[in-house]
Structures are given as structure tokens and as C-alpha cells.
């Protein structure tokens, strides 16, 4: 009798321990701040990695997964070492690098701590490793890859509580970030930037708009050029037509740059777009406006030279509408034309041109995550530029709002 009772007690304790471990394991799977030993999954070239952002509870996340075009499946792999929200991701050597942004930890006044750290995703291992640290903690900055392979971050917000725009830029060449001796012509938070192609000013960086007053009004009309050869910043001869922050800049094959959307001084989204022509150093408005005002939208250069504009929201005020609309900008006509609507409304989504997978999805655009009704999303869909359709993919493993995505080399 004693042995039977004892056995039952022991069995009960084992069962409770199993439940505790299962619950703890579940928490580890969703909470990037709980350190655990992960089992990495090695991706294939052409897979699309998505990492970080906010999860369903609006908590900064390090959750990471990749889309495998050959099977259409989402596969989870090891998270980042710390959370990255509102960060930037660029190609770096044989892998990808996640730069800056907010982390989940807060300071004594409950302000989110910004990252100086970067993390490098190594495709051969399926894991992140520590990368070279920035000189400043940054979010809301512009990031581009220069023609010589170096990486550049410009502007943004430094600090935690004051959230002041910066006038600095940093270059990663090799394994160390170096702060440029030259400064931008003005401090900028939330600017847009693009490396120009074509003949005139090819390889120079256009940096446009933003705000210079603690993410407040007025928004900036000014723009400037960074010349990597001379190492200098120079204001454009003429400013933009419209002052805008949180705009999106897309370098076009003809050497010009398309600038879309953003917010105005009333924090409402902008439906206008303009073209920067480096040969004349001037901005001109496109031949028509976008179908909707957009901020926090995506802009993706398609293989035929047109640009897919998708999602976003209509305001930073309380009456904002999350968008499921999309449109195509044609540089040949200077016109925006509506295309199919997405399956989900989403802003702060990512959009990635699939390439190098060797599948029928190459040349199509993967739209991932974002926000709707205040919640991060775990849905994704694929835009077919030929059929002009959006098709849902399998559901992602995690929720990703304000995340980053890129094709794995």
C-alpha cells in the first residue's frame, strides 16, 4: 500500500515537472529574451529570411524564420541574440546583417533601449553571430549598400529618452563601423535614401526628407547627396516639392529616384510622389498621385523596371486606415496604376523580390507580416507581376510587425 501511494505521488510529481518543462519550453519558443539552446536550420540560397519586429503582444522580438520557395513552407530557425525592432537589414559578405533598432529591454523610465549592436546571419550555420557594433545607438535611420560593397547608415534617432535626430553617418567597410568625419547638411530622423544607378552621379547616395526636431514637425523638404569617392555631403540645388518624413526612396534603372508617400506636418500620410533627376539636380512631381495616401508602405523594384507600391496606412493620427491596396509605378509613363488588392490589410510590412531560388517564384514579390488593427500579423502573400495577383502563402511561424526581410545569398 505504501509503495502504491508513493508511486502515485512520484508519478504526480513527474507529471507536474513535465507540464512545467513543456510550458517553459513553449515560453522559450515565443520569448526571445529567454536564453535557450536552439536547433538551427540551414536555409537554401534564394530563401527569404524574416526576423524581429514586434510580436502579437507588441513586444520586440528576435524570432526568425525563412520562406522556402521550393516548398512554399515557412521554417523557423535560431532567433537573434537580442530583439531588434525598427532595425535595418542588408547583404553583408556571404550573409545578412541586422542593424540597430529598439530592443525589448527598457530603462528606469520605461523607455525602450536602442541597439548599438549588429548581428550577422550566417547561412551556412542557420544562426546569428555578433557583428561589429555601431558607434551610436540608432533607430529610424537610413541604410544602404554602396557600390564598393561598404554599408552606410545615415541619420536616425540616437539616445533613449530624448530621441534626438543625428547629423552623423557611419560606414562599415570590413569589420568596423567608422563615423564619417563629414556630417550631413542637417540632422535627419526618418529620412529615405537610395544609391543611384545610371550615368549621372552613379554610386552617390540621395538622402531626402525626415525631421530634425525629435520626430516632430515640421517635416523636411531638403535633400542631399553623399559622394563616396570624395567622402562629402552636399545639398541638392533644389529641395523636394513636398516636405515628408518616413518616405520611401527607390532607385530606378534609368538613374533617377522615386520618392513615395510619408507624413506631412499634420502627421497625415501623403499621396504624392516625386522623381529626383541627378542630371538636373531637381525634383519633379510624378504625372499622377498614388491611389491612396501612404506611410509605412513598401516599394519594390520589379524585374521590368516598374515599382510595386503596397500597403501602408493613411495617418499617424487616431483615424488611420490600414491599407490592402497596391499599385504599380511605371517610369516610362510617370503614372501610378492600381493593381490587385492584397489578401490582408497591412502597414509596416516587408516586401522582398524573390531571386536565386531556381523556382517559378523568382521575380515575384513576397509580402510579409505588418500590422492590422494594432496587432502584428503572421500572414504572407506573393505578388505575381505577370498575372497581377496576390496569393497567400502558408502562415508564418511567428508574428512580425516592423520586421526585416531579405533574400539569403
Give the start-to-end residue ranges of the domains of the chain. Answer: 1-30, 31-407
Q: Give residue 158's pLDDT.
A: 85
Residue 319: per-residue pLDDT: 84
CA separation for the pair 49, 84 (Å, rounded): 14
pLDDT exceeds 60 at position 51? yes
SS3 236: coil
Give the cell for residue 105.
529591454
17 band by pLDDT with thresholds 50, 70 and 90: very low
Mean pLDDT of 26-39: 51
What is the reported pLDDT for 226? Answer: 98
All cell numbers assigned to 137: 545607438
Task: Specify the pTM.
Answer: 0.90
Cβ atoms within 10 Å, residue 154: 26
Of residues 8 and 133, the one with the higher pLDDT is: 133
Beta bridge pairs of residue 157: 139, 165
Q: Which residues contact 255 (CB under 8 A, 6 or more apart)?
A: 196, 197, 198, 199, 200, 201, 202, 278, 279
What pLDDT digit, counting tens, does each position of 173-208 carry? 989 999 999 999 999 999 999 999 988 899 999 999
Q: How far apart are the first and last CA of the chain?
A: 66
| DSSP calls for 161-195 | SS-EEB--EEEE-SS-EEE-SS--SS-BBS-EEEE
380-384, strands of its sheet edge to edge: 350-353, 365-368, 380-384, 389-392
What's the confidence (pLDDT) of residue 34?
Answer: 41
The average pLDDT across 45-49 equals: 98
Residue 232 forms beta bridges with which residues? 227
Contact 337, 327 (CB under 8 A): yes
How high does pLDDT run on average in the chain?
90
Q: Could you read off the pLDDT of 59-89 as tens digits, one per residue?
A: 999 999 999 999 999 999 999 999 999 999 9
The Cα 141–Cα 163 span in angstroms is 12
**266-298: pLDDT as tens digits:** 999 999 999 999 999 999 999 999 999 999 999
**Residue 350's pLDDT band (boundaries 50, 70, 90)?**
very high
Which is it for strands 257-260 and 88-92: parallel, antiparallel or unpaired? unpaired
Distance CA 369, CA 54 (A): 10
Q: Does 362 or 29 have the greater pLDDT score? A: 362
Angle, alpha carbons 243-168-60 (nearest 5°)? 80
Neighbours of 102 (CB within 10 A): 26
Task: Quickly tell me which residue has 529570411 as its cell.
Answer: 49
pLDDT at 112: 74
User: What does the pLDDT look like over 92-127, one tens digit per residue?
Assistant: 999 999 999 988 887 777 777 888 999 999 999 999
CATH topology of domain 31-407: Neuraminidase (2.120.10)
CA angle, 302 then 307 then 311, to 5°: 115
Specify the pLDDT at position 182.
97
**Looking at residues 35-50, what average pLDDT do you find?**
90
Amino acid at each position: 500500500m505504501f509503495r502504491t501511494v508513493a508511486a502515485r505521488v512520484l508519478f504526480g510529481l513527474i507529471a507536474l515537472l513535465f507540464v512545467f518543462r513543456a510550458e517553459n519550453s513553449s515560453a522559450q519558443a515565443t520569448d526571445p529574451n529567454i536564453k535557450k539552446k536552439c536547433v538551427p536550420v540551414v536555409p537554401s540560397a534564394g530563401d527569404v529570411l524574416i526576423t524581429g519586429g514586434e510580436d502579437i503582444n507588441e513586444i520586440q522580438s528576435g524570432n526568425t524564420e525563412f520562406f522556402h520557395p521550393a516548398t512554399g513552407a515557412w521554417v523557423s530557425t535560431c532567433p537573434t541574440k537580442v530583439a531588434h525592432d525598427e532595425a535595418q537589414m542588408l547583404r553583408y559578405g556571404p550573409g545578412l546583417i541586422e542593424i540597430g533598432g529598439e530592443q525589448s529591454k527598457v530603462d528606469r523610465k520605461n523607455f525602450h533601449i536602442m541597439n548599438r549592436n549588429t548581428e550577422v546571419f550566417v547561412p551556412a550555420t542557420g544562426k546569428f553571430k555578433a557583428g561589429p557594433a555601431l558607434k551610436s545607438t540608432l533607430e529610424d535611420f537610413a541604410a544602404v549598400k554602396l557600390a564598393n560593397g561598404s554599408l552606410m547608415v545615415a541619420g536616425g534617432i540616437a539616445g533613449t529618452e530624448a530621441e534626438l535626430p543625428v547629423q552623423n553617418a557611419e560606414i562599415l567597410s570590413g569589420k568596423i563601423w567608422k563615423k564619417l568625419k563629414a556630417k550631413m547638411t542637417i540632422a535627419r530622423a526618418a529620412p529615405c535614401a537610395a544609391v543611384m544607378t545610371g550615368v549621372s552621379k552613379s554610386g552617390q547616395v540621395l538622402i531626402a526628407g525626415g525631421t530634425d526636431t525629435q520626430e516632430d514637425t515640421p517635416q523636411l523638404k531638403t535633400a542631399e547627396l553623399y559622394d563616396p569617392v570624395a567622402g562629402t555631403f552636399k545639398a541638392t540645388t533644389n529641395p523636394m516639392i513636398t516636405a515628408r518624413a518616413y518616405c520611401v526612396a527607390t532607385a530606378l534603372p534609368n538613374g533617377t529616384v522615386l520618392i513615395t508617400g510619408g507624413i506631412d506636418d499634420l502627421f497625415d500620410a501623403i499621396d504624392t510622389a516625386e522623381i529626383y533627376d541627378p542630371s538636373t539636380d531637381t525634383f519633379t512631381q510624378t504625372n499622377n498621385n498614388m491611389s491612396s495616401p501612404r506611410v509605412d508602405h513598401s516599394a519594390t523594384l520589379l524585374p521590368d523596371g516598374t515599382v510595386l507600391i503596397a500597403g501602408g496606412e493613411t495617418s499617424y493620427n487616431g483615424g488611420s486606415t490600414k491599407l490592402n491596396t497596391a499599385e504599380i509605378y511605371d517610369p516610362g509613363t510617370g503614372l501610378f496604376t492600381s493593381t490587385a488588392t492584397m489578401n490582408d490589410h497591412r502597414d509596416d510590412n516587408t516586401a522582398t523580390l524573390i531571386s536565386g531560388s531556381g523556382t517559378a517564384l523568382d521575380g515575384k514579390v513576397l509580402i510579409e507580416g505588418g500590422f492590422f488593427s494594432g496587432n502584428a500579423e503572421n500572414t504572407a502573400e506573393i505578388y505575381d507581376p505577370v498575372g497581377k495577383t496576390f496569393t497567400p502563402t502558408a502562415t508564418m511561424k511567428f508574428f512580425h510587425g516592423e520586421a526585416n526581410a531579405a533574400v539569403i545569398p
